[in-house]
Each structure stands twice: as C-alpha cells, then as structure tokens.
Amino acid sequence: MATFQQLQSYALWRLRSRGALPFTAPPTNSESDQNPPSIIKALLNTGYNEFLSRTMESGIAVYGAGFYTNAGDTRWPLRPCPNSIFNDPQLAAMRVLEATYNMGGNSITTGQTFDIEICSTEKFKQITGAYTRRASWFGPRVLYATQLFGQPYLDIAPGIATSGDYINLTCVPDPENSPLVPCQYGGPMVNPGDVPLFPSQFHRALVEFVVMECGDASDKTNQSKRAEEKWEKYIAEALAWGVTRGQGMPEVGVKDTYYNGPQVGG
C-alpha cells in the first residue's frame, strides 16, 4: 500500500534522479521530508482519475451510493450522487456498474431487493419508445437505467412512483469531480495518508504517469517512453485482475433457479 506522501516522494525521487525536473536539493531518507511542487500532486490525482477511467469496466475500485427514492424522479444525478442515507459525503460517479432497488417501505433491512438492468443508450431508447413514454411511464420499481451518451446522470425507466424505497448504486468514483469528498469515500488524494481505492499492487502506476508527463514536458523522451510502457502494463494487469477477481472467477458456473434470463455456466 502506498500513501499519497509516499507516492509524491517516489515520484520526486524518480524525477530528480533522471533530471526530468530542475530540482537542486537531493532527496533524503525520510517519508515526510519531501515538499514537491504542486504539479506532482496534481499529476498524481490526474493519473488517479485516468487509471480509474481506463479500468472502470473491470470494477477494481468501486464505492456504494445509497439513497431513498422520490416519487416523480426519472433520473438521478451522478455528479454528485443523491444524498446518502448513511450521511456519507456525496461522491461523483464516473460509471455505475450495478444498481439495485429495494421495495422496503422506508426500510433497507426488509422488503425485496431487485436488480436494475444497466443498459445501453440504444436499448433504453427502444424501451422508452424513442423516449416518448418517459413522461407517462411510472411503476412500482425501476427496471432499466442508463447513462445516456455517458452523461453524469442515470436515466431510469419506469420513473419512480413510490417515495421512500431504497436505491443502491455500485459506482466507479470520479475523484477529480469530488473535490470536497475525503479520499476514502471516493474523493481525490489530499492528505499525506490518503490511499488510492484500487488494489495496492497498482499504486505505483500513478508514479509512472507523473514521470511520463514530466519527462515528456522536459524533453526526456526515453524516460517518458519507458514510464508510458510501465503505465500501460499496469493498466493491462489491472484489467486482467478485475476479470478474474474483481468480478468473481468467470469459470465458476452459478445458476439461480429464480431467474429466467441468461446465466453464467449455461
């Protein structure tokens, strides 16, 4: 696990040792002595967002957003998400990977929970009759949802007919659009002890992003190219990790006798 301070120190050491930035003071052997320029902190967070964006389909870093329904709603904002019932900060979501609807009558511990199908823009358009049914179609629970053309909203069908039911969104956080949210809730890295949400074996990828960008800006072509190769390798490994672990082992067949749709394992 690498903290924000450690990532800054490592990035600064890499850049100094290769002469990518004109720092004069040599690095010392302390975790807290480094005071890098703000560009390193900014690039680490830019790399953080970029890494989440490149790997968001794999589900390697997710956070839950839970909130109650309001009758009449036909979409939910994602930048930020609706007010949490647990009083968590309102994170911004880059992508919603899964959504569930609990018909619990104002309770998240009783009632029935149903999956909301996250579908494509095209399918959503067909389901809603080229959007013509959206203003009149309201039902006991939401069946379909989509981010129309990647917008920071989750459009839903049918619309909400009942207030007080419970929604849970499994989201890929969007730290750069959650500036006031603490890192552990999906915000950017700000404090020295902040840690990226994705698995620790990929944390050093953010340093490669910094070296890649700073090396390119200072005309250190070879250094920038090597860092870019490592950056891409980390992304490929993270995607593979998500397929085999983040979303469960794909070779395991699981059959639900209550569900009539396509199932894993035939």
Q: Could you read off the pLDDT of 57-84 as tens digits, one per residue? A: 888 888 888 899 999 999 999 999 888 7
| pLDDT for the residue 9 | 85
Say how many residues make up the chain: 266
| pLDDT for the residue 20 | 46
Q: Is 241 helix (H, G, I), strand (E, B) or coil?
A: helix
> Which phi and psi angles does 173 have, rounded to 5°?
-70, 160
Angle at 96 between CA 179 and CA 195, to 5 degrees: 45
What is the domain partition of the chain in residue ranges? 4-17+36-58+196-245, 63-176
Closest residue by Cα to residue 31 from 193, 204, 195, 210: 193
User: What Cα–Cα distance (Å) separates residue 45 from each residue in 50, 70, 158, 213?
Assistant: 8, 35, 37, 13
Across 22-42, b (16+ Cβ under 10 Å) vs e yields eeeeebeeeeeebebeeebbe
Read off the pTM: 0.80
* Residue 172 bridge partners (DSSP): 95
Average pLDDT taken over every residue of the chain: 82
Closest residue by Cα to residue 169 from 181, 153, 187: 153
193 pLDDT more than 50: yes
| pLDDT for the residue 265 | 47
| pLDDT for the residue 73 | 93
Tens of pLDDT, residues 240-252: 888 776 554 444 4
Tens of pLDDT, residues 124-137: 999 999 999 988 99
pLDDT bin (cut points 50, 70, 90) of residue 215 is: confident
221 pLDDT more than 50: yes
The encoded tokens of residue 12 equal: 């600064």
Distance CA 42, CA 91 (A): 19
